Amino acid sequence: MSRGVGRAGAGQGAAAALQLLVTLSFLPSVVEAQVTGVLDDCLCDVDSIDNFNTFKIFPKIKKLQERDYFRYYKVNLKRPCPFWAEDGHCSIKDCHVEPCPESKIPVGIKAGSSNKYLKVANNTKELEDCEQASKLGAINSTLSNQSREAFIDWARYDDSQDHFCELDDERSPAAQYVDLLLNPERYTGYKGPSAWRVWNSIYEENCFKPRSVYRPLNPLAPSRGEDDGESFYTWLEGLCLEKRVFYKLISGLHASINLHLCANYLLEETWGKPTWGPNMKEFKRRFDPVETKGEGPRRLKNLYFLYLIELRALSKVAPYFERSIVDLYTGNVKEDADTKTLLLNIFQDTKSFPMHFDEKSMFAGDKKGAKSLKEEFRLHFKNISRIMDCVGCDKCRLWGKLQTQGLGTALKILFSEKEIQKLPENSPSKGFQLTRQEIVALLNAFGRLSTSIKELQNFKVLLQHSR
């Protein structure tokens, strides 16, 4: 070995040793960032959620997300931002989302777009898999079968219900199917003024921030000195339950997204081959109690709170899917039956959870005041769903739209209990319906939360082993 190579090897070894020392220096504080105890505004504790998610939910929801019905999501990534002039789309290659070419979409699926609620014949053997990278798939937008007349009647019912989200028009030429498995949510490098403006608009304009609070709620905002840290959140105590819940849902969603970015980080790229994996330094920056002045653990607790809300929604909507009229149709009879069986199995697990959030405690005041507050709550969230069209990174926009729509669908379910109880067994109901887009978003959004909690546990294990 030459002297030059030896020096290079020694230099690399010293660099690696230095990196290890840097990593070890922050491990104790990161381990402390793991949250425990009872969550605010409910009677559930973190450990119970961890165990329930790890052993019951996560393995099944992961399988469900791999099923054809749930892996393809129709979305319009070209809708203009309704609030400000766009900065232009991110040019980083990892921001890119490649839709499935029209020629790759089976005829039966394309027919399903114009007959949204009709079960149409699909003569293709199976949904064709799109080839790697540039080949993204598509799926039928059809929900079920039974009677043509009933579904035509069902189709007439749409905009009369209280949507919590701005839904994409699936008939728009700009709406395209995306294979979620080939476009995983992970770190893309999207940051800076564009990302800051999106989250700033969400927190400052839509999270019921009192006028007396001057410090930005946005975690991406620069430090404001003494007003930072856990003590800042005393303002939350002065809000009503509904507004506290709203803030926690948004904070929890932000924490979940950040966890995915930390867990699927671009660690290195050699000869065009990227290596993705957990980035402990990034995790510390976002959640360590010292670096975040105590705010990191609060953000993680809000993630658990959001998980509880969506878990409750799944348990409440189970009767909708238990009816024989609901068929998760893709054209593959056996797979469709297996998919529904797996989904119903997940619903049974959600109903078995003993410490659900009680949504009846919300909007429980005088009727007029409660109705007004609920409408304000709905419109604020709908506004946030519209802000997702301002995200400059296509992949971030894709997952932002899906997860806000999933949460919006969960809220719609929680506040439609009476309508769900009145569902007829063998015919569509005019009181409560879910589109295929809402169903796919609901289950994938919950799958993202389940994955976040699992990834949080993985970080804890990784950090303990590194010590």
pLDDT of 384-421, one tens digit each? 999 999 999 999 999 999 999 999 999 999 999 889 98
Which residues neighbour 179 within 8 Å (Cβ) at sequence distance 6 or greater?
Answer: 71, 72, 100, 130, 136, 137
Which domain, by its residues, includes 238? 31-111+158-213+229-466
131 in a domain, yes or no? Answer: no
Among 342, 348, 259, 317, smallest CA distance to 433 is for 317
Comparing 151-155, 167-171, 316-320, 415-419, the range with the smallest average pLDDT is 151-155
Measured torsion, CA atoms of residues 240, 244, 246, 251, in degrees rounded to the nearest 10: 170
pTM above threshold 0.75: yes
> Is 377 inside any structural domain?
yes
> How many other CB atoms are found less than 10 A from the CB of residue 419?
17
For position 311, what pLDDT does the model report? 97
Write the pLDDT tens digit of every residue in 78-88: 999 999 887 65
Spatial contact of 366 and 65, defined as CB atoms under 8 Å apart: no
pLDDT grade, residue 126 (50/70/90)?
A: very low
pLDDT at 251: 96
Residue 179 lies in a domain: yes
Q: Is 251 within any annotated ligand binding site?
A: yes
CA atoms within 13 A on the CB side of 444: 29
pLDDT at 160: 39
Report the pLDDT value the prediction gives residue 154, as an integer from 0 to 100. Answer: 39
Q: Check the annotation: does 96 bind a ligand.
A: no
The average pLDDT across 350-358 equals 92
pLDDT above 90: residue 426: no
In a domain, 449, yes or no: yes
Residue with tokens 């063998």: 426
Tally of CA atoms within 13 A in the half-sphere of 442 that contains its CB: 26
Residue 222 lies in a domain: no
109-113, 218-222, 369-373: least confident range: 109-113
The reply to whether 163 sits in an annotated binding site is: no
Cβ–Cβ contacts within 10 Å for residue 9, how many? 11
Would you call 179 helix, strand, or coil by DSSP?
strand
Mean pLDDT rounded to a whole number for the chain: 78
Q: Is 399 annotated to bind ligand?
A: no
**Residue 254 among known ligand-binding residues:** yes
Distance separating alpha carbons of residues 414 and 420, to the nearest angstrom: 10
Number of structural domains, the chain?
Answer: 1
User: E strands of 146-204, at which residues?
Assistant: 175-179
The verdict on residue 370 lying in a domain is: yes
Q: Which residues are catalytic?
A: 393, 396
Asked if pLDDT for residue 330 goes beyond 70, the answer is yes
Looking at mean pLDDT, say which of 149-153, 234-238, 335-339 comes out highest: 335-339
User: Region 167-184: what's the mean pLDDT?
Assistant: 83
Residue 222 is inside which H or E element, if any?
A: none
Q: Is 199 annotated as a binding residue?
A: yes
Q: Is 368 inside a domain boundary?
A: yes
pLDDT (0 to 100) of residue 294 = 84
Residue 136 within any structural domain of the chain: no
pLDDT in tens, 204-249: 999 998 888 888 888 877 765 555 566 678 888 889 999 999 999 9
